[in-house]
Amino acid sequence: MNRSSKTAGFYNLLVATAALLCGIILALVGGKGFPFGVVLLILLVVGFLIAVMGFFHVSLKSREQLEAMELEELQRSSRGASLFETTEVEGLPARRSREQFEHWAVPVFTTALFIFECVVIFYAVRYLSGSFQTQSATVAAGQVTKFISMDLAYVLMGGGALLGLVLFLWGQYTTRFARLSGETLLQPAAEYLLLTGYFLFGLVLVVGVGFQFQMIHLYASWALVGFISLIAFERFLALILEGYRPRTRGEKLRLIYQSRLVGLFCKPESFFVTAAQTLDYQFGFKVSETWGYKFLQERIGMIVLGQAILFWLSTSVTVIHPSEVGVVERFGQPVGIVLNPGASFTMPWPIDKVTRFTPDTVQSFYVGLPPDEEEHGHSDGHGDNHEKAHFWSQPHRVKDYERLMEVGLLYFSVGSTNKDVESNLIYASIPVQFRVKDVRKWITAYNDPAKLLRTLATREVTRHFLKIDFDALMMQERVSAMDTLRSKIQESANQHGLGVEILMLGLGDIHPPAESPRALAIVADGPPPTGPGAPPVAVTYEDLVNARHENVRDIRFAKMRQKSNMRVAESTVAQINADGEAKLREIRTGGLATAAAFTNQFAAYGYSPRVFPNYLYLDMVARAMQQPRKYIFAVTNVHDTLDINLEQQLRKGLLDIGVEVPPK
């Protein structure tokens, strides 16, 4: 080992220290909103520690060689002059220091480095999990937020590119120097410097792409943490295998803190060395010495880089299909350039991004809560919707109930003509369909025009509901309210210059809430009961409606019974009057008949006073003797005792024979 090796180790430490300081500055500039810089700082710290370890190791090896040279020179000049000969080990204390360093310090350092990596990986996973949940919730809510400002993005991209270039050049120089000179002690630090340079280039790419994809820096951070975890796992295996490896004196030094995974990632040309050995063995001649293989080995990097650059430049060509228009966004900001159908040239990705729009496509959103697919049916992929009936008395499956109540998206207030009720609550899921007419206005006027249009529609719906009566909205004025709201939303969108046309607004899914809104319900006797035992609004409302219906039913039944009783009384009076008149007529007729019969009988009596009474008597006896039983005695001169039963017989027997009396 010469002095240049020690100097290279010192420069490795100096560059690693400068890289660590610059990494700390970049991490502070990025802040908590850019976790990739924080995770990259872990890799810089590991590289700095390995550079420190490599510098001390190189220093001990250089000291050992210098002392060996001095001892050799001393022995050459004074050979045989000393009384006792000095052994090699006793004459080289630096060698013993180096051996003790490799025997104790290197395993302890590797173990401490492994523990450090495990600890920082644990905290990095916790930190990224919280950031990922927060960012995912923001993206799911439709909120477009920049993880870093444009000025800080320029600082990160410029600083990262400059630092990455320095580390890349120095890492390439040191790795080649270590390979040509055979100084393996310089390779671990050089490989980490080269690896850090690659990831700094990745930082520049992540910052540029982050303006198009909000989650890219989190995914890149997870990937970097996974790579550091693989390195830690490899280090753990190296510690275990080193403990069981047999050792011989004079063997080649193995650096257990050197990661072969890092070396493979930084020096992919090692693949060609392995491939060359395999091909030479398989074909039986030096395939690796042919012109084609050497050309491929030397120029494969340039070929792949050229293809990557060509593919990157191809992203600047954009083809807009018929019936579409493209809007150019530069670093996430619209620049007002509208591309017509055909081929167009823009800045390559991720500088420019082209968003395609079809102006004639009907888009839609919901004011209030969007319908649940399980409640309102779903599409089977062929255009057929399987609708499911849903009653308003069934509570909706509302997620984040408290948050929706706070932002006012759960219920709407509706006016009331009743003086005792200030307003009514109503559940609303109102679809609004619109079409973009002016794409330039739609893109360039606001950062999130869809959110603004939804806010304007919600404001107009809220205002109109407060002015209209609840009963009128639910019945006769629903159709007119749809037309009024559509025109108001269109007018508001025109005032804000959104360039859209409101096509339709539906009020089919509006009804009173099925559950009691806990934050808004107040009654005269105090707040209503809440919790599982609280009666739902639907049940209470149905009880009230049922009570009203029962009241109306009882009143109608009473009126019907009143009318029925009046009709029965009238018919009874009419029957009594008719019976009286018939009785009176009968008495009159009987009296007239009796008077007429008496007149005729009086004339007959005048003709025969003795015969007429006997005739009447016999006639009465004959009529009286028609029904009673007759007993005929056929013998005479017999004295018998007869029991005569004069009770009336209700049912005749077999011996009862009726004798028909011939009419007169």
Q: In the chain, how many H helices and how many E strands?
A: 19, 12
pTM for this predicted structure: 0.50
Arithmetic mean of pLDDT, 505-525: 62
Arithmetic mean of pLDDT, 156-168: 87
Separation CA 289–CA 291 (nearest Å): 7
Arithmetic mean of pLDDT, 259-273: 72
Task: Taking the CA atoms of 255, 256, 258 and 264 in sequence, report the sign of the dihedral they define.
Answer: positive
- Tell whether the model's pLDDT for residue 143 goes beyond 60: no
Tell me the residue length of the chain. 664
Arithmetic mean of pLDDT, 84-89: 49
- Tell whether the model's pLDDT for residue 197 goes beyond 60: yes
Q: Is 140 helix (H, G, I), strand (E, B) or coil?
A: helix
Please tell me the predicted confidence (pLDDT) of residue 279.
Answer: 66
Q: φ, ψ for residue 348 (rounded to 5)?
A: -65, 160
Separation CA 209–CA 219 (nearest Å): 12
Q: Is 385 helix (H, G, I), strand (E, B) or coil?
A: strand
Please tell me the predicted confidence (pLDDT) of residue 593.
Answer: 81
Neighbours of 379 (CB within 10 A): 10
Please tell me the predicted confidence (pLDDT) of residue 504.
Answer: 86
Residues 6 or more apart whose CB falls under 8 angstroms from that of 99 comprise none
Burial of 144 (0-12, 13-18, 19+ CB in 10 A): exposed
CA distance to 345, 588, 589, per residue, from 574 (Å)? 105, 21, 22
DSSP assignment letter at 526: B
- Tell whether the model's pLDDT for residue 308 goes beyond 70: yes
Q: Is 278 helix (H, G, I), strand (E, B) or coil?
A: helix
Residues 6 or more apart whose CB falls under 8 angstroms from that of 609 comprise none
pLDDT in tens, 464-480: 888 887 777 777 778 88
Separation CA 559–CA 561 (nearest Å): 5
CA distance to 92, 416, 474, 544, per residue, from 422 (Å)? 99, 6, 17, 19
Identity of the amino acid at 423: S
Separation CA 596–CA 584 (nearest Å): 18
Separation CA 483–CA 615 (nearest Å): 106
**Mean pLDDT: which of 55-69, 127-141, 560-574 is highest?**
560-574
Separation CA 217–CA 374 (nearest Å): 35
Please tell me the predicted confidence (pLDDT) of residue 378.
Answer: 45
- Percent of the chain residues past pLDDT 70, beyond the cut: 70
Q: Which residue has the higher pLDDT, 595 or 643?
A: 595
Burial of 55 (0-12, 13-18, 19+ CB in 10 A): buried
What are the tokens at 248? 């011989």
CA 459 from centroid of its chain's CA atoms: 25
CA distance to 611, 633, 634, 643, 644, per residue, from 637 (Å)? 34, 11, 10, 19, 20
Task: With CA atoms as reference, report the closest residue to 132 among 197, 225, 40.
Answer: 225
- Three-state secondary structure readout of 73-95: HHHHHCCCCCCCCCCHHHHCHHH
- Tell whether the model's pLDDT for residue 591 goes beyond 70: yes
Arithmetic mean of pLDDT, 302-323: 78
CA distance to 394, 429, 532, 545, per residue, from 539 (Å)? 10, 21, 14, 10
DSSP assignment letter at 638: -
Task: With CA atoms as reference, report the closest residue to 192 among 42, 366, 27.
Answer: 42
What are the tokens at 397? 């499956």
CB 133 within 8 A of CB 125: no
Separation CA 387–CA 366 (nearest Å): 18
Q: 239: pLDDT confidence band, cut at 50, 70 and 90? A: confident
Arithmetic mean of pLDDT, 645-649: 64
Arithmetic mean of pLDDT, 71-97: 63
Q: 415: pLDDT confidence band, cut at 50, 70 and 90? A: confident
Q: Which residue has the higher pLDDT, 379 or 337?
A: 337
- Percent of the chain residues past pLDDT 90, beyond the cut: 8
Residue with tokens 């794409």: 439
Task: Decide the pairing of beta strands 423-436 and 510-511.
Answer: antiparallel
- Tell whether the model's pLDDT for residue 646 goes beyond 90: no
The chain-wide mean pLDDT, for the chain, equals 76
- Any long-range contacts for 304-312 (C-beta under 8 Å, 24+ apart)? 312/348, 312/349
- Tell whether the model's pLDDT for residue 493 goes beyond 70: yes
pLDDT in tens, 369-389: 776 655 554 444 344 444 555
Separation CA 183–CA 591 (nearest Å): 159
Identity of the amino acid at 614: N
pLDDT in tens, 594-630: 777 777 777 778 788 888 888 888 888 887 777 766 6
Please tell me the predicted confidence (pLDDT) of residue 145.
Answer: 52
- Evaluate the omega torsion of the peptide bond into residue 662 and state whether it is cis, within 30 degrees of 0: no
Please tell me the predicted confidence (pLDDT) of residue 525.
Answer: 44
Please tell me the predicted confidence (pLDDT) of residue 113.
Answer: 92
Task: Decide the pairing of beta strands 500-505 and 352-357.
Answer: unpaired
Kindly write down the DSSP assignment for every residue of 145-175, as one continuous string: --SS-HHHHHHHHHHHHHHHHHHHHHHHHHH
- Tell whether the model's pLDDT for residue 555 goes beyond 90: yes
Separation CA 56–CA 102 (nearest Å): 11
